[in-house]
Chains A and B, each alone.
Chain A
């Protein structure tokens, strides 16, 4: 299982306290994700996409069930163990980029490597390589405020991949971008998925993203209603 599956979820239940009661965000979720998959969690607002993504990323805890990510059982692991897992083996891409405004592109991309205590020479090499991948070499000293939305998201992608994680979680990565930038971003991620064999999970309801996905998990009211495998995606081949 550990060699093949990056994510393995069984009987996942997630409740949120609301007043004196509970709101069930996810129930009876079963899911397996293999290495190098390019998968999307798709569904309307409130269907549980982001909650599931956060649980897989160890940012939130399951109420019940087993969630095994890259060999770590998240339900029984500590905050620090989950932080270690994210630091070493995961990358995050957010809808609003979440770049640190006072850092340059180089410094933003460098941050995961600093957290992983990579030495400065190697950091420089890896950052330059990641920035090349996303086509931002000419903007390396710019600050986020000087970049367009597409460039910000490409910086965020470079930051997510710079330490070559096994799994990248992307929450609505194109929601703030126009069509052209959205396609550019998706093309970059398809290429990274192929070249680095990095697994991708998207939470989205953007049709443009869906056109690139090779597997789509449809969520409704916190439950998986359809697991769709796509042999030949419309885009990205």
Chain B
């Protein structure tokens, strides 16, 4: 009975109902849209990191600490046999890391040299470009961020100075053979990539590596010596920490949007009770109990939210699908700010996101519809009939 009456009241109110529904639907749309954006950003950042840096995991030289550049001097050695077997079977590749300074356009800049096997295909970096002829100079691959920062272009030569295994400074000239577009600032800013063999020669560290990155689906080797096994979870922990640190922002945004939707519903309920107090009195005079009148108004609020969700699915669904397929172009390059973010953000809308958002919003809406409706329970029918709210 209440359902039929609530339905009649909502449909009968015509444009007023649909305006309320539309405004609530916009808030719901934004909640799902923003949540999808956040999920998309996180998923993209994780995927890019795995794709261009982490792969299936790594074995680190025991002295290697990526956050302590001074550890690089000692963090090199010949990988144990079983790890070398992975390398020989093309299931892994070595990276040799060293501190260095470069002098682009006469200015000094500290960098990290990373020697990498040019023919590796385990991570998605254009390392094959390092096979290009460099006229006897050191072929160097850098990211576009680094290129912008140093004003280096393909073909530009510059001096590189490094400290070799014998703690002796040496220098030579490098040439930019390729500038890669990458969304992972960690393989871009402050890093120059050179061929592994050249790095080993320059640093006098023949056959040595700082760490070995292996393919996905490769299980941990037994004979890893004193090299340290680092799985994907460990290597992604900085990323996870960043995402976790960003969680409150996402929650604040979610809360703001939910509050906006909630305030809209709360406001329309209060207005509805105020405007319809004579109707409330009439319903009571006709024998409707107070609890049923409260139920009727709560149900109307709940159905308002339900219609909003339907509207979001019908009108917002194609928009969600379009963005999920074609992405949202971002106006600025966030990589320059040290964020791993695509130039075109693809939001991720999962069934879980829809269900959890729908359930949570429905619960909030029911509570928010009920709260103002409780005032009805305190109304005296005689006051309500006179249009007075007590």
Contacts and interface: CB of A to CB of B under 8 A. Distances in A.
A83 B13 CA distance: 26
A92 interface: yes
A103 B12 contact: yes
Nearest to B281: A98
Contacts of B290: 79, 83
Contacts of B13: 102
A115 B382 contact: no
A59 interface: yes
A76 B170 CA distance: 104
A98 B282 contact: yes
A83 B283 CA distance: 10
B1 interface: yes
A222 interface: no
Contacts of B279: 98, 100
B13 to A, nearest CB: 5
Contact of A107 (B8, B284, B288, B385): B8
16 contacts: A54-B381, A54-B382, A60-B382, A83-B290, A84-B287, A88-B287, A92-B285, A96-B278, A98-B278, A98-B385, A100-B9, A100-B282, A102-B9, A111-B286, A114-B5, A115-B286
Contact of A59 (B5, B289, B381): B381
B4 interface: yes
Interface of A: 54, 57, 59-60, 79-80, 83-88, 90, 92, 94, 96, 98, 100-103, 107, 111-112, 114-117, 159
Interface of B: 1, 4-5, 8-9, 11-14, 278-279, 281-282, 284-290, 380-382, 385
A90 B284 CA distance: 12
A93 to B, nearest CB: 10
A117 B2 CA distance: 11
A94 B283 CA distance: 13
A115 B286 CA distance: 8
A23 B124 CA distance: 88
B385 A102 contact: no
A171 to B, nearest CB: 9
